[in-house]
A = this chain, B = another copy of it.
Amino acid sequence: MENKQDKLVKSITGRDEDFAQWYTDVCRKAELMDYTQAKGFIIYRPYGYAIWENIQKYLDNRFKKSGHENVYMPLVIPESLFMKEAEHVKGFAPETAIITIGGKEELAERLIIRPTSEVLFCEHYAKIVSSYRDLPKKYNQWCSVVRWEKTTRPFLRGSEFLWQEGHTIHATETEAREEVLGMLDIYNELGRDLLAIPFILGKKTDKEKFAGAEETYTIEALMHDGKALQSGTTHYFGTGFAKAFNINFQDKDGVVKPVYQTSWGLSTRLIGAIIMVHGDDSGLVLPPYAAPIQAIIIPIQASKPGVMENALALYKALDTLGIRVKIDDSDKTPGWKFSEYEMKGVPLRIEIGPRDLETGDCIIVKRIDNSKEKVKISELPMIIEDLLASIHRQMYDKALANVAANIRPAYTYEEFKNIIENQPGYVKMMWCGNVECENKIKEDTTATSRCMPFVQERLGEVCPVCGRKAEKEVLFAKAY
């Protein structure tokens, strides 16, 4: 737990010394979150929540432009409703939190805190849909969900986390399938445009798919320590839920049919991804378009003539452009401020001091590589957008190079085990399609199948684990 002393000491564990401890240090010292007395329930502090708000803004805009509407479903699911779809129950029942008391009285029926809201959407859709004219329904909600986890880590695995969950129903299978892949594209573009994280897209194996789904698609990211992080998923349900919940419609041909259904979700887990993809020994490194503060202006010797005037004028000029800029004119030392904003991963630091002012200059320092440059203050507003864009590209390219360098093929199972134990990242290998082989791999190595990538290679004709005919190329990795 953070205590008041912590605030004075900004040093953190080395990233390559103890990655897990480094991660926790960054979460706390960058003031992204705080713990509470309830295990696995964290506080999203302003700086962490603001990153989520930037993700929300991007996605909400994309969702609405593609015809989705926001709704809010209840926090609770009556137990009998929750039990209606068998596979779904099997997947989620073990990790539910349950309200048994309300208004000082034992409840007649126990209420499950939503771990996900499929059944609530299903019950509602069954009531409001009767004709092809009512379709499609493309709903999304922003909320928190609760899943009782034994091991919890900030952002990565919590008893409660924030997310969006989209739930759509369609008249045809084609349209539903387009939705599932279309939303995966939007998730992928979030990574490309906002987070500077390259994802690998693919389909989950049956073992790894969502409870109740026919098919699950995923965006997978690679962390600095070589582990994979499932960063968002979209699900094709076919008519499974529709049949369990009687979501039927009369089609144009007069025939009553069940709807085709999808769901898709993405969570505050992405904040963990940002930390673990981009962070370094000095703390967080934020991609500019997700950063709550894109540029921090630090006056040096603020009492000297012209320093504060120039700092404030620049602040106003950048703010007017829509840049998320702050000025730190507190009485802390410049050195203290430098390490504070390094820890917080602010992409661009702008130092304004009396010496450089003589020539109308300031110093800009990029967080990504600590590179310093002298720039005319008057020119900065004209180049700042390009600067941020180039930082974004630099971060994306670096992350992409890291992924490319850490996908290794395995042609035999011995080779697979050797790579997975000794090298970071993904191992690509052919697979027979049987869950026994996935189970064996997990047992032997703790690695799991991350996905069957959309872009498939043919690495061989047999499954190296069992020797049966190879069906698919699969990416395996140790994962969060």
Contact = CB atoms under 8 A, between A and B. Distances in A.
Interface in A118-137: 120, 123-124, 127-128, 130, 133
A97 interface: yes
7 contacts: A37-B78, A41-B76, A50-B70, A72-B144, A75-B160, A96-B101, A143-B144
B34 A127 contact: yes
A73 B146 contact: no
A66 to B, nearest CB: 15
Interface residues of A, number: 63
A162 B2 contact: no
Interface in A186-240: none
B97 A71 contact: no
A363 to B, nearest CB: 26
- Report copies per complex: 2
**Pairs of residues from A and B, 10 with the lowest C-beta to C-beta distance, nearest first:** A103-B148, A41-B74, A46-B69, A44-B72, A98-B101, A102-B148, A4-B130, A97-B102, A100-B100, A37-B78
A133 B4 CA distance: 13
A325 to B, nearest CB: 15
A141 to B, nearest CB: 8
Contact of A3 (B4, B104, B127, B133): B127
A46 B64 CA distance: 12
Contacts of A70: 46, 49-50, 53
A458 interface: no
A94 interface: yes
Contacts of A71: 43-46, 49
Contacts of A95: 103
Given A103-B150, A127-B1, A148-B103, A72 B162 contact: yes
A9 interface: no
Interface string A257-272: 0000000000000000
